[in-house]
């Protein structure tokens, strides 16, 4: 059930934009959190050291208090410790065993609907692009804005490249991405953003059609107060 997103046909006035958060939105789970658990399971991380930190960062994220740079440093260390060839094999196994079971028929249907309507599709996520690019591809979406790990000579350094795609950073990264294609948010007749998290409110407030998906309590309350639609993809 794969399909491909189409590039924008110039500055077409009727072109719509469909943005999708990934974790706990079009995925029924969190790919970042589960990546660490998977690496522990596979013996590439020390459970005694990393399990507690992983839980703490995840709790901070849900509470809206995450230090994104501390989290990125934590998440990118395993990338720097292992050769790219090993990481690629681990990621392939992770996608098959952990990610594919998180993809629901409702999520596929939603993304496909926007594709068939000719919208410009982008997955925009705080999770690192090494993990999320192949996940976006499972939905047939070629365009990804994620937090990028720095690379040198084909290997990861453990550092972040550029601005993390988190909170206000999602707005900045999206605007830069569109500008690179001679576009802006105002060029779209309609702009949709689907998200589960109040961390995404800065970008949700920028689009014409924000949609709360299986929303956390803070986002659910905010969406209700603004009359935003709320849906479930589970």
The CATH code of the domain that includes 57 is: 3.40.50.1000
pLDDT at residue 10, rounded to an integer: 46
pLDDT band at residue 162 using 50, 70 and 90 as cut-offs: very high
pLDDT at residue 1, rounded to an integer: 39
Q: How many other C-beta atoms lie within 10 A of the C-beta of residue 116?
A: 9
64 lies in some domain:
yes
- State pLDDT tens for residues 61-97: 999 999 999 998 888 989 999 999 999 999 999 999 9
Q: How many other C-beta atoms lie within 10 A of the C-beta of residue 42?
A: 11
7 lies in some domain:
no
**Known catalytic membership, residue 21:** yes
Mean pLDDT of 116-140: 97
Q: What token pair was written down for 25?
A: 């939105």
Q: Which of 21, 30, 187, 196 is catalytic?
A: 21
* Cα atoms in the 13 Å half-sphere on the side-chain side of 139: 35
Q: What token pair was written down for 212?
A: 């709360």
Q: What token pair was written down for 78?
A: 């395993």
pLDDT at residue 96, rounded to an integer: 98
85 lies in some domain:
yes
126 lies in some domain:
yes
Residue 200 domain boundaries: 17-231
pLDDT at residue 51, rounded to an integer: 86
Average pLDDT, the chain: 93
Residue 108 contacts residue 70 (beta carbons within 8 Å): no
124 lies in some domain:
yes
Residue 201 contacts residue 219 (beta carbons within 8 Å): yes
In the chain, how many domains are there?
Answer: 1
- Contacts by residues 179-187 (CB-CB < 8 Å, ≥ 24 positions apart): 181/8, 182/11, 183/8, 183/11, 185/17, 187/11, 187/15
12 lies in some domain:
no
Pairing assessment for the beta strands 144-152 and 155-161 based on DSSP bridges: antiparallel
* Strands of the sheet with 144-152, listed across from one edge: 155-161, 144-152, 120-128, 17-20, 191-195, 209-213, 230-231
In this predicted structure, the answer to whether residue 4 has a pLDDT above a threshold of 50 is no
Alpha-carbon distance of 195 to 205, in angstroms, equals 12
**Known catalytic membership, residue 23:** yes
141 lies in some domain:
yes
Mean pLDDT of 44-70: 90
In this predicted structure, the answer to whether residue 7 has a pLDDT above a threshold of 60 is no
pTM: 0.92
Residue 118 contacts residue 8 (beta carbons within 8 Å): no
In this predicted structure, the answer to whether residue 220 has a pLDDT above a threshold of 70 is yes
In this predicted structure, the answer to whether residue 123 has a pLDDT above a threshold of 70 is yes
- State pLDDT tens for residues 166-186: 999 999 999 999 999 999 999
pLDDT at residue 37, rounded to an integer: 94
Q: What token pair was written down for 74?
A: 């934590």
In this predicted structure, the answer to whether residue 8 has a pLDDT above a threshold of 90 is no
35 lies in some domain:
yes
Alpha-carbon distance of 58 to 222, in angstroms, equals 21
């Amino acid at each position: 059930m794969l399909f491909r997103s189409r590039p924008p046909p110039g500055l077409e006035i009727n072109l719509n934009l469909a943005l999708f958060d990934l974790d706990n939105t079009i995925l029924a789970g969190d790919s970042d959190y589960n990546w660490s658990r998977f690496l522990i399971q596979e013996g590439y991380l020390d459970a005694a050291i990393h399990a507690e930190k992983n839980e703490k960062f995840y709790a901070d994220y849900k509470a809206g208090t995450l230090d994104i740079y501390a989290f990125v440093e934590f998440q990118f260390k395993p990338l720097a410790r292992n050769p790219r060839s090993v990481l690629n094999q681990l990621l392939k196994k992770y996608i098959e065993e952990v990610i594919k079971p998180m993809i629901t028929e409702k999520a596929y249907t939603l993304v496909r609907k926007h594709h068939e309507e000719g919208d410009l599709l982008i997955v925009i996520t705080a999770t690192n692009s090494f993990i999320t690019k192949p996940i976006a591809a499972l939905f047939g979406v070629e365009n990804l804005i994620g937090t990028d790990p720095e690379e040198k000579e084909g290997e990861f350094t453990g550092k972040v490249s550029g601005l993390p795609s988190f909170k206000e950073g999602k707005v900045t990264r999206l605007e830069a991405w569109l500008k690179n294609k001679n576009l802006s948010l105002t060029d779209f007749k309609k702009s949709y953003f689907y998200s589960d998290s109040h961390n995404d409110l800065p970008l949700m407030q920028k689009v014409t059609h924000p949609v709360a998906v299986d929303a956390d309590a803070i986002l659910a309350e905010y969406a209700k107060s603004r009359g935003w639609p709320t849906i479930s993809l589970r």
